[in-house]
Chain A
Amino acid sequence: MTELWQLSAAGLADQVRRGSVSARDVVRASLDRIERVDPALHAFVDHRGERALADADAIDGARARGEPLGPLAGVPIGWKDNLVVAGERTSAGSRMLADYRSPFTATALQRLQAAGAVLLGRTNMDEFGMGSSTETSAHGPTRNPWHRDCVPGGSSGGSAAAVAAGLCPLAVGSDTGGSVRQPAALCGVFGLKPTYGRVSRYGLIAYASSLDCVGVLGRSVDDLALWLAATAGVDPADPTSVAAAPTTGAAAPAADLRGVRIGVPWQLNGPGLDDEVLATVQTALATLRELGAELVECSLPSVAHAVPTYYLLAMAEAASNLARYDGVRYGARRGEGTSCDAMTTASRSRGFGDEVQLRILLGTFALSVGYQDRYYGQAIRARELLRSDFARAFAACDLLVSPTSPVPAFPLGSRIDDPLAMYLCDALTVPASLAGLPALSQPCGYTAAGLPIGLQWTAPAFGEDRLLQVAGAFAAATDHHSRRPPA
């Protein structure tokens, strides 16, 4: 018999609406699963327990009164610890915000609640999103459900592990340079980073404002589509949010991919890739061809500069975004009773972890007088070049395909002391981030050791429906996504 925790979000919401299961039972099943499985994984920082059950009861009550229920009725959702929820703790994985509680709720989460979703608990992450392994979290690392000595990827590693391990069917993440897609790939689940501005950033604790996107991890394309339909749309509280035509909400997978032109940028499909990743993606490309897709060789020349460009911009913006954590109004305060400068210095030196301090220092340098044009300015120009590369590529194809991560999940501790090796994990995901384009990762195979491998799709701006359709077609033709990690 299929257990509740194994069901998709769409399936659960359908049952709750029909009344064949109560929202309380659905949420209870997730909480039980967390109790049983999560101690070994540490995907969740904490969960809302009784408060989540009370929210579920409200949905059951609404149904009993005959009120209409939303498309995500009763679906328990995890959220990354950098999205604020009124009254709940939010730490962004940092000691700096260890005891911080927000007075308001992030727009994306508010919209999920309005669609009937139940906020379950907050998931672990790299501190302020700065990492690709969830090892820089002040709460300790999260383990990969497929291999507990390996990282889940990051920075939304907690969300990826939670979905992969069946703790919840959907978990919200955020993606600045690949932080949804890379952990999705390493944990064998689907991950969607929408177009920049498509989902409101209000309530997302900023890492790099021009790159940050709220995204989602799930076990089916349909669930991603449901999530997007619930969260997308302009928000007066986010001046960078964009009014675009609403998504169809349904993935409506094409039966085949005839007539779809899929670009294969060589820079993202060979150099520096792990052999097993390369071979698995080649097999996926063959499957796509069998489904009728036309594969088009293409080139994104500026991708060669994508990683340094991304890190310069992200660090420069981060140095400014994280300046507010000074111990004056909220958050960790150290050095009280000294001078203002000494208090700020002490609070920041103790409150931030090493990786965050490293990025603040580099970002500050990149914006300094005398260096700004050489570093920040140069990165801005490189970003424009990359945008033009994508525009040229999309003149000849509908979507781009590549692996999501150059490597499968790697052992805990194997890269944490080598920032450059860690930064290269993002080589394939940062291009779409820099160009603000929507991208999706889906499972496309496994290594000999049984670690998942992800396939990344990139579409033109606001092409999420296209992403979901093509990913749906590939998933329908394969069964990589149905495999579950060992219990």
Chain B
Amino acid sequence: MNGFTTVIGLEVHVQLATQSKLFSPAPSGALGDPNTRVHAIDLGLPGVLPRPNAAAVELAVRAALALGGDVQRVSRFARKNYFYPDLPKGYQISQFESPVCLGGAVPLGAGRSCRLQRIHIEEDAGKLVHGELGTLVDLNRAGMPLIEIVGEPDLRAPADAQAFLLHLREILRYAAVSDCDMELGSMRCDANISLMPIGSDRYGTKVELKNLNSPKMVQRALEYEERRQAAILAAGGRIAAETRGWNDEAGESRPQRSKESAPDYRYFPDPDLPPLVIDDARIEAQRARLGELPQQRRDRYRSAFGLPEHDVVALTQDRAVGEWFEAAVQTGVDAKTASNWIQSDVLPAWRDRGGPLAEFPVTPQRLHELLQLLAQGTLTQVTARRVFRHMVAHAGSAATAVQQLGLSRIDDADTLAPLVAGALAALPEAAAAVRAGKERALDALKGHVMRATKGRADPDAVDRLLRAALAAD
């Protein structure tokens, strides 16, 4: 930007989707009434010791594999010491000198990627609630399992940061490591940004941005910071090494803390926890559970189904959607037809409804049955979509819905003949126009019959009967 190269690095905290906390049997989940999901261990009561949760370690390993990192056979937990009322033990159990994973990368699209420095496991702190009663402590979140993913400063534009987060989120959701919801805090991002003159190889002074609650917000905050730093540097000023908080409503960041006042965390290996040893069998078990990652799936959809790029992207944004799609294809639905129905009907209805796609009332098998009724001519394109909506609302098979809606196609001449006659009587100008050779006027007459049957009339039969009636006059 304006003679400067922007250098961005991200640190992302991701909450692991375990049943219980990282070092205690308390149920996980930051939800629930305050301080209801808290074990003696989370409170740091005298005499407690941490109990490592094997499931959390396994999800961390799976995340490391999904991101192409090098899982460390031996790593160590360390204590990060500082005082804060939401930190019950006066230290956070994290990893410092010896993290669970080194290296790895996050794709940015178009063949580019950002290298990762490391991934480590750590526990979350509680939170302070400021209200009328003063400041209260809620420890539901204390001890929740997190991984921190530390990116190298490879990003050169705020848009890259957003791409990093979107790809990271997609991969971790595919791997079922986390739901990665930035609004709800199961994914949190801090961004470091500095500017250096183009051609320089010495990074400028970096500023850390916090309070970034969506990938878009990360990009906005970085764009603001990029402009702010460029203006200071262009005016011959110096950038202060500090942490700044982003205020999205105001569209600006404000200083929170200077780096000089950062505490000394006095990291040292946690003597309560033996080294974390992860053998090859444990790593291979997670590799086996990893399944297909988004990029692999997109490649396969292009080659196996010959789908256009737009469809490929739409079907692979969410692992469950791809699975639904493939199940539909398995039942015999044409891939492109399945893709069209998913995009135009399934996804909008599912989003309205919420819940897991696996519990969506129209299963791939039922869509297949619906499409068969369409192919057989029992339904028209219009009535088929009405049937679909009915199936979403009431569950049940397509045949049942057709019956309940009274929607089988009308193609017998006895039923349609009076309606055709009615159309000719109602729209004499259109009838005259057709006779005068204006083919397009026929559509108005057809529409009249279709409306009269609420779309159930067979368009071909109506066409035939209308032409015959007009010719007979």
- A residues sitting closer than 8 Å to B (CB atoms) are 83-84, 90, 92, 97, 100, 102-104, 106, 201-206, 208-210, 236-240, 316-317, 319-320, 322-324, 326, 328-330, 340-341, 344, 364, 367-369, 372, 376
Q: Can you report 24 A-B residue pairs in the complex whose CB atoms are below 8 A from each other?
A: A84-B47, A90-B46, A92-B46, A100-B46, A106-B47, A201-B49, A205-B46, A205-B47, A208-B271, A209-B270, A236-B51, A237-B51, A239-B273, A317-B271, A320-B266, A323-B83, A324-B90, A326-B83, A326-B85, A326-B90, A328-B88, A344-B83, A367-B81, A372-B268
Nearest neighbor of A313 in chain B, beta-carbon distance: B271
Nearest neighbor of B272 in chain A, beta-carbon distance: A209
**Complex: A154 Cα to B134 Cα, angstroms:** 44
Q: Which 3 A-B pairs have the closest CB atoms?
A: A323-B90, A210-B271, A209-B271
Q: Judging by beta carbons under 8 Å apart, are A103 and B45 in contact?
A: yes
B264 contacts the other chain (Cβ, under 8 Å)?
A: yes
Taking A323-B81, A372-B268 as given, write out 12 further A-B residue pairs in contact, using a Cβ cutoff of 8 Å, ordered by the A residue number.
A90-B46, A92-B46, A103-B45, A106-B47, A201-B49, A203-B47, A239-B50, A324-B44, A324-B90, A329-B43, A367-B266, A372-B266
- B residues sitting closer than 8 Å to A (CB atoms) are 40, 43-52, 79, 81, 83-85, 88-91, 135, 137, 264, 266, 268, 270-274
Chain A's nearest CB lies how many Å from the CB of B246? 24
Judged by DSSP, the binding face of A is loop
Chain A residues near B268 (CB-CB < 8 A): 316, 320, 367, 372, 376
**Complex: A208 Cα to B270 Cα, angstroms:** 11
**Complex: A319 Cα to B90 Cα, angstroms:** 10
Q: Judging by beta carbons under 8 Å apart, are B85 and A238 in contact?
A: no
**Complex: A330 Cα to B46 Cα, angstroms:** 10
Nearest neighbor of A369 in chain B, beta-carbon distance: B264
Chain A residues near B83 (CB-CB < 8 A): 323, 326, 341, 344
Chain A residues near B272 (CB-CB < 8 A): 206, 209, 239-240
Chain A's nearest CB lies how many Å from the CB of B133? 13
Q: Judging by beta carbons under 8 Å apart, are B45 and A202 in contact?
A: no
**Complex: A53 Cα to B453 Cα, angstroms:** 90
Chain B residues near A209 (CB-CB < 8 A): 270-272
**Complex: A326 Cα to B46 Cα, angstroms:** 12
**Complex: A319 Cα to B47 Cα, angstroms:** 16
Query: Given A210-B271, A240-B272, A323-B90, are A368 and B266 neighbors across the interface (CB < 8 Å)?
Result: yes
Query: Given A209-B272, A320-B91, A329-B43, are A364 and B266 neighbors across the interface (CB < 8 Å)?
Result: yes
Chain A residues near B49 (CB-CB < 8 A): 201-202, 237-240
Nearest neighbor of B82 in chain A, beta-carbon distance: A323
Nearest neighbor of A327 in chain B, beta-carbon distance: B85
Q: Judging by beta carbons under 8 Å apart, are B47 and A204 in contact?
A: yes
Nearest neighbor of A242 in chain B, beta-carbon distance: B274
Q: Judging by beta carbons under 8 Å apart, are B46 and A239 in contact?
A: no
Q: Judging by beta carbons under 8 Å apart, are B266 and A104 in contact?
A: no
Chain B residues near A329 (CB-CB < 8 A): 43-44, 88, 137
**Complex: A317 Cα to B377 Cα, angstroms:** 79
Nearest neighbor of A236 in chain B, beta-carbon distance: B51
**Complex: A312 Cα to B243 Cα, angstroms:** 34
**Complex: A100 Cα to B137 Cα, angstroms:** 20
Chain B's nearest CB lies how many Å from the CB of A346? 13
Judged by DSSP, the binding face of B is loop
**Complex: A368 Cα to B265 Cα, angstroms:** 8
Chain B residues near A237 (CB-CB < 8 A): 49, 51
**Complex: A296 Cα to B91 Cα, angstroms:** 47
Q: Judging by beta carbons under 8 Å apart, are A324 and B50 in contact?
A: no
Query: Given A102-B47, A329-B43, are A240 and B89 neighbors across the interface (CB < 8 Å)?
Result: no
> CB < 8 Å: which of B81, B84, B85, B274 contacts A320?
B81
Chain A's nearest CB lies how many Å from the CB of B276? 10
Query: Given A328-B85, A367-B268, are A240 and B47 neighbors across the interface (CB < 8 Å)?
Result: no
Query: Given A209-B272, A329-B88, are A102 and B81 neighbors across the interface (CB < 8 Å)?
Result: no
**Complex: A319 Cα to B387 Cα, angstroms:** 69
**Complex: A102 Cα to B46 Cα, angstroms:** 8
Chain B's nearest CB lies how many Å from the CB of A102? 7
**Complex: A201 Cα to B264 Cα, angstroms:** 29
Nearest neighbor of A330 in chain B, beta-carbon distance: B45
Chain A residues near B51 (CB-CB < 8 A): 236-237, 239
Chain A's nearest CB lies how many Å from the CB of B22? 12
User: A92, A100, A203: which has the most chain B beta carbons within 10 Å?
Assistant: A203
**Complex: A323 Cα to B135 Cα, angstroms:** 21
Chain A's nearest CB lies how many Å from the CB of B38? 10
Chain B residues near A340 (CB-CB < 8 A): 84-85, 135
Nearest neighbor of B83 in chain A, beta-carbon distance: A344
Chain B residues near A319 (CB-CB < 8 A): 81, 266
Chain B residues near A369 (CB-CB < 8 A): 264, 266
User: B44, B46, B52: which has the most chain A beta carbons within 10 Å?
Assistant: B46
Chain B's nearest CB lies how many Å from the CB of A282? 38
Chain B's nearest CB lies how many Å from the CB of A464? 21
Chain B residues near A203 (CB-CB < 8 A): 47
Nearest neighbor of B265 in chain A, beta-carbon distance: A369
Chain B residues near A208 (CB-CB < 8 A): 271
Nearest neighbor of A317 in chain B, beta-carbon distance: B271
Chain A's nearest CB lies how many Å from the CB of B182? 28
**Complex: A236 Cα to B273 Cα, angstroms:** 12
Chain B residues near A205 (CB-CB < 8 A): 46-47
Nearest neighbor of A348 in chain B, beta-carbon distance: B83
Query: Given A316-B268, A367-B268, are A97 and B46 neighbors across the interface (CB < 8 Å)?
Result: yes
Chain B residues near A238 (CB-CB < 8 A): 49
Chain A residues near B274 (CB-CB < 8 A): 239-240
Chain B's nearest CB lies how many Å from the CB of A136? 17
**Complex: A239 Cα to B472 Cα, angstroms:** 94
**Complex: A268 Cα to B90 Cα, angstroms:** 38
Chain B's nearest CB lies how many Å from the CB of A109? 10
Chain A's nearest CB lies how many Å from the CB of B128? 9
Chain A residues near B135 (CB-CB < 8 A): 340
**Complex: A376 Cα to B97 Cα, angstroms:** 15
**Complex: A210 Cα to B49 Cα, angstroms:** 12
Chain B's nearest CB lies how many Å from the CB of A153? 24
Chain A residues near B79 (CB-CB < 8 A): 320
Chain B residues near A90 (CB-CB < 8 A): 46-47
**Complex: A209 Cα to B268 Cα, angstroms:** 13
Chain B residues near A210 (CB-CB < 8 A): 271
Chain A's nearest CB lies how many Å from the CB of B114? 29
Chain A residues near B44 (CB-CB < 8 A): 324, 329
Chain B's nearest CB lies how many Å from the CB of A271? 30
Chain A residues near B271 (CB-CB < 8 A): 208-210, 240, 317
